[in-house]
Structure formats: C-alpha cells, structure tokens
C-alpha cells in the first residue's frame, strides 16, 4: 500500500476498515486515498469496506461527483459503507453530509454499492447484512 498521511487501515472480521482525515477534501486529495483502498481490497480479496472519513470542511459538489464516479468504477463488486465524521464547524456539517450523500447517489447510479452514514455502528450493521 502507498504511504498516505492521516490514513489508517485495519483488518476486521469480514471487512476492511479505513480511517482517514482530510482538512481540504478535493478530487486531488481523494484519488490517492480511494485508489489505495481499492488496491488493498483487491490484494487480499476483500469485498466489504468501511471507510471512516474525518473531514474539516465540505467537499465541492463537482469534486464529489467526479470522485463518486471513480469510486463506482474502482470498487465494482465491493460493498462500501462510508461514515462521515465531521471535524469542522456545525454550520457546514450539513453541507458536507449533503455533498457526500450526493456522491452516494452518483456511485449507485453507476453500479456502485455504497451507503453514507453518520454513525459507525449503523454502517457496520448495514455492511455486514447480506
């Protein structure tokens, strides 16, 4: 796996858990993160992924759209639970969650199996179902 700052990987029973922090979430910062996650899943033949993202601000809708398209392609056949842990102010937390939920729709419309959560235990339950 590539060395990525503020990025942590844990093998859990039945899935891989990735935790990352991004102070300025953009397409440019997201590409190496999600490429590394997809690469690791393929290396160990894992089809379930829990991603915990600690974002300091909301990503742009344009970057979210393009990253979600890429994720749907990279993660074909994988089930992804994405947990948003917001490290910014309360005033922009809703904007960030809305942007990420938009990404969920984009990925789904391109064949991705992904769901966005604000709670890790709910994400894990969904991920381990079926």
Tell me, yes or no, whether 105 lies in a domain: yes
2 found inside a domain: no
* 1 falls within a domain: no
Q: Is residue 41 part of a domain?
A: yes
Please give the residue range of the domain that contains residue 43: 7-128
Distance of CA 80 to the CA centre of its chain: 7
102, part of any domain = yes
**Domain holding 66: CATH number?**
3.30.750
C-alpha–C-alpha distance, residues 8 and 24, integer Å: 18
Structural domain total, the chain: 1
C-alpha–C-alpha distance, residues 100 and 120, integer Å:
15
Query: In this predicted model, what pLDDT tens digit does every residue of 92-125 receive, in sequence order?
Result: 677 778 888 999 999 999 999 999 998 999 999 9
Report the alpha-carbon distance of residue 21 to residue 60 in Å, rounded.
16
Round the CA-based radius of gyration of the chain to a whole number and report it. Answer: 13
Q: State pLDDT tens for residues 11-70.
A: 899 999 999 888 788 899 888 888 988 988 889 899 999 999 888 888 899 999 999 999
């Amino acid at each position: 796996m590539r060395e990525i700052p503020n990025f942590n990987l844990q093998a859990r029973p039945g899935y891989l858990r990735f935790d990352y922090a991004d102070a300025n979430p953009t397409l440019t910062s997201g590409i190496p993160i999600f490429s590394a996650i997809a690469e690791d899943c393929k290396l160990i033949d894992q089809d379930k992924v829990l991603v915990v993202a600690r974002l300091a601000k909301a990503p742009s809708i344009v970057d979210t759209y393009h990253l979600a398209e890429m994720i749907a392609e990279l993660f074909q056949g994988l089930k992804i639970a994405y947990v948003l842990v917001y490290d910014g102010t309360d005033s922009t937390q809703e904007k960030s969650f809305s942007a990420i939920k938009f990404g969920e729709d984009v990925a789904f419309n391109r064949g991705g199996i992904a769901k966005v959560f604000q709670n890790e235990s709910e994400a894990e339950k969904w991920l381990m179902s079926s």
